[in-house]
Structure 1
Amino acid sequence: MIAVPEPGLTERELIDRAVALRPALLERQAETEQLTRCPQATHDDFVRAGFYRTLQPRRYGGYEFGLPTFFRVVTEIARGCPSTGWALSLSAAHVLQFAAQFGERAQDEVFGTDGEFRAASTVAPVGVARPDGDGHVLLDGTWPYSSGAPYSTHYLGQTLRAPEEPGGPPGPTVLFVAPRSAWTVLDDGHGALGLRGSGSNSIRMDRARIPRYLTREVSLLDLPVEGGTPGSKLHGNALYAGRAPSVYHGELAAVMTGIAYAAADEYARILVDRPLTLEPDRTRAELHDYQRHLGEALGVIHTAQAAVQRTAEDYMEACRRNVSGDAPFTVADDNRLAIVFLNAGRTAWDVTQNVLFRTAGSRHARDGERMQRYFRDAAAYWTHIGASMAEPLARRVGCDRLGLPSHDIPLIP
């Protein structure tokens, strides 16, 4: 057992710490974009606060809090700095899949003696895993858009099993976890439209050699979870018996909700600070139209957040029922949860661009303005592979309702 840094820490206290960091994160936004990752000071703040350990098993120095708490933390961090919230979400959440799918030997090695675990990941498989004949596999390839990579201690990636014979087709998808010593972060995180500080660099492996027990022939898009997993049995917690795609969409939706709240915060500041052109002793805050714009936006954002939180609770219940034997956690369940998360993210994007950015005024669309940054960050989500799953996911949900097969509808083009 690895000691938990703060045994008495509560979920409420963790969320309050995220809220308390908002002023510092606001001040560091420009620096974060310039660095293409959050500053060391922010990373240190996260380590002290315990954010990276939110979902981590207590056996290995984590707090083992639920998904609703994690998403609240992510939303609050993204409200202070969207790029930082994105990096936190996409590096601290992958402990769920690792702790669920890998056995005790692998977890003992990976969590080590200090429990430090932050894992960037990408959903698409890259390269092939070649056995070296000595109980290890060799990995080669470049995994792009690995958000959170600069501060990650591990990489949770996917590749393909090498062909059985030269020239033959590759084998099934292989999920692997590789320590930081096995890969290099490439300096290619510049030039993005938005989320410029999310540390979404590529990582490179050149004949990286890892033990075979740190690999599994499973896909993140279709993890075997029915009746429980190696991790749910090891940790005695149904949290580690859930599917991955819905969590993935929840991670993004939690960030998007935070971005929308950030835009609403900035909008309220603009209304109070901006005098009217013809009546300089009054501000936009006194005009009914702008009051209505802000109230409409907040109502929609509150709704998106409620959807994220309630769906996270539904995910936890699906995990519990899966382990108890009441009902398996099916692909149809995953589709249903995922599309609600995705719709919450889309709702946050719509209100950010259609109400807040549109009516804030063109002066706030200039470089260096926070409203411009929030628009860019939200737009980056809307072009992300997660948002591009909307159409196939909707088709899946429709087929599930009609009793037609949906499992083979690919989520990734």
Structure 2
Amino acid sequence: MTAAMDTPAHEHRLPPEPGLTEQEVLARAERIAETLVDRQQETEDRGYCALDTQEALKKAGFYRLLVPKRYGGYEFGIDTHMQVVARLARGCASTAWMYTFGASHAHLAATLFSEEAQDELFADGDFICPGVVAPAGVAEPADDGGWIVDGVFRYASGSPYATHFVGQTFVAGREGEPDGQLMFIVPRNQWERLDDWGSQIGLKGSGSSSVKIERAHIPAYFALPGTHMGLTSVVGGTPGLRLHRNSLYGGSVLAPLNFQVGALAVGMATAALDVYGELTRERRIAYPPFHLRAEDPDFQLRYGEAAGRIAAARAAMTDMLRQWQETAELGNADRAVELRMSIISREVVRLAWSTVSEILMPTAGTSAIRAGERLERIWRDMSTLHTHAGVNIYLASIAPRELARLALGVAS
């Protein structure tokens, strides 16, 4: 949990459960995850989680974890949110993916947008706002100082039950100048969700449909010209820190966006180990002396090494969350710090993926990876995670190179 400064109580709207604790939130995540395991196929078939699952996530308070107390949220922190994501991913990666990329942008909105914008964005308490980092479409100035945005934004995970959408678009530059950037938020009644998700190899139930916006009017307070969600500096303070007086809204925005893939990977790898453990206790080896796998030294070694790698990945995730909190409280999350923390998430993914792809999948047995089997689905989901541009383009090459240039004093 991040540090909060003294804020007058009358400025806070009470959340649905004023006495809710972080420990109870994590316990709820584990209980909900258990209900998701047997529903993974129907989630894939539908393309997103069921309405009753969505209602369970809302009732549990998960869509208010990062919403400011001022608006009826809990302000439990980045660490609590990521632990919830990892637990949900242990039950169903698609549901966890859909949840986190719909819920996490409450932190971005509460950090970067003005009080006027937040008063409207968080008016209903629950805030479900998928986001797309890659710029698309175009924004034109409106007569009233706002913007007219038009475009199709792909892979808006969390869009089926969303209340808003946050995206990046281009603003035409003057002749001979490059196009500018605009970050904007638009309410649900101003965009259309396209039915174009579900044919990918994995994460079929993550609700990652495209969002189509046709000449939507964006008020000036819902737009941040010259801003990109992955490049915005928080050094010197943020609108959210000044408004909420909590360092949760004064820390890096970039790093938490990247933390999510690490949390998801840890949850998926843990689920794979769950399956492997069941197989090891139940099945015999195919060669003499035909004893249970659990009694075989080789299977013991594989299980132990996999458990160790997952533990290392979880430890790295825990420490990157600690670093985020520390730098938020100190107010020193400059670009190099943001990049370093983000790259840790990439290493978490590597550890989790190597566990599944190098140890568990090759030795689980052919019957364990038939279509529809839990381990087969985890492998597909983790493979699809690797196609995410944030994982295997940004975190794998762009971020490390930028960090090196900053450390070595080399001009871009």
Q: Which residue pairs with 2:4 in the alignment? A: none
Q: Which residue pairs with 1:107 in the alignment? A: 118
Q: Percent identity at matched positions?
A: 40
Letter in 2 for 1:208: A
Q: Which residue pairs with 1:219 in the alignment? A: 228
After superposition, where does 1:135-174 map in structure 2 within 5 Å? 135-164=145-174, 171-174=179-182
Q: Which residue pairs with 2:29 in the alignment? A: 18
Q: Is residue 158–residue 173 contact of structure 1 (8 Å, CA) maintained in 2?
A: yes
Q: Which residue pairs with 2:260 in the alignment? A: 251
After superposition, where does 1:203-352 map in structure 2 within 5 Å? 203-217=211-225, 218-277=227-286, 282-322=291-331, 328-352=332-356
Deviation at 1:380, TM superposition (A): 0.8
Letter in 1 for 2:34: P
Q: Is residue 67–residue 313 contact of structure 1 (8 Å, CA) maintained in 2?
A: no
* TM-score (structure 2 length as normaliser): 0.93
Q: Is residue 67–residue 122 contact of structure 2 (8 Å, CA) maintained in 1?
A: no
Q: Which residue pairs with 2:45 in the alignment? A: 34
State the SS of the aligned residue for 2:255. Answer: helix
Letter in 2 for 1:38: C
| 2: CA distance, partners of 1:2 / 1:175 | 28
Deviation at 1:275, TM superposition (A): 3.2
Q: Is residue 161–residue 170 contact of structure 1 (8 Å, CA) maintained in 2?
A: no
After superposition, where does 1:65-214 map in structure 2 within 5 Å? 65-112=76-123, 114-164=124-174, 171-214=179-222
Change in Cα spacing, 1:276 to 1:171, as seen in structure 2 (3 Å) is: closer
Deviation at 1:309, TM superposition (A): 1.3
State the SS of the aligned residue for 1:59. Answer: helix
After superposition, where does 1:370-389 map in structure 2 within 5 Å? 370-387=374-391, 388-389=393-394
Q: Is residue 253–residue 345 contact of structure 1 (8 Å, CA) maintained in 2?
A: yes
What's the C-alpha RMSD, in Å, of the aligned pairs? Answer: 1.7
Describe the superposition over 1:103-139 as per-residue Cα deviations: whole angstroms up to 9, x where unpaired: 1111111112x21211101111111111221343211
- Any gaps of 5 or more consecutive residues in structure 1? 323-327, 409-413
| 2: CA distance, partners of 1:305 / 1:52 | 23
* TM-score (structure 1 length as normaliser): 0.93
Letter in 1 for 2:171: R
Describe the superposition over 1:154-207 as per-residue Cα deviations: whole angstroms up to 9, x where unpaired: 10111122445xx77564211111000011110001211111111111000011
Letter in 1 for 2:212: R
Change in Cα spacing, 1:41 to 1:279, as seen in structure 2 (3 Å) is: farther
Q: Which residue pairs with 1:325 in the alignment? A: none
State the SS of the aligned residue for 1:174. Answer: strand
Stretch moving more, 396-405 or 313-322: 396-405
| 2: CA distance, partners of 1:41 / 1:311 | 33
Q: Is residue 173–residue 180 contact of structure 2 (8 Å, CA) maintained in 1?
A: no
Q: Which residue pairs with 2:61 in the alignment? A: 50
State the SS of the aligned residue for 2:302. Answer: helix
**2:400 is equivalent to residue 394 of structure 1:** yes
Deviation at 1:56, TM superposition (A): 1.2
Q: Is residue 349–residue 382 contact of structure 1 (8 Å, CA) maintained in 2?
A: no
Q: Which residue pairs with 2:6 in the alignment? A: none
Letter in 2 for 1:121: G
Stretch moving more, 390-399 or 93-102: 390-399
| 1: CA distance, partners of 2:377 / 2:177 | 44
Letter in 2 for 1:202: S
| 2: CA distance, partners of 1:93 / 1:280 | 52
Describe the superposition over 1:272-300 as per-residue Cα deviations: whole angstroms up to 9, x where unpaired: 22234467984222211112111111111
Deviation at 1:210, TM superposition (A): 2.2
Describe the superposition over 1:341-360 as per-residue Cα deviations: whole angstroms up to 9, x where unpaired: 11111111111111111111
State the SS of the aligned residue for 1:21. Answer: helix
Q: Which residue pairs with 2:3 in the alignment? A: none
- Any gaps of 5 or more consecutive residues in structure 2? 1-11
Letter in 2 for 1:348: A
Letter in 2 for 1:174: L
State the SS of the aligned residue for 1:37. Answer: coil
| 1: CA distance, partners of 2:276 / 2:33 | 16
Tell me the number of residue pairs that the alignment of Structure 1 and Structure 2 aligns: 398
**2:410 is equivalent to residue 404 of structure 1:** yes
Stretch moving more, 196-205 or 237-246: 237-246
Q: Which residue pairs with 1:63 in the alignment? A: 74
**2:15 is equivalent to residue 9 of structure 1:** no
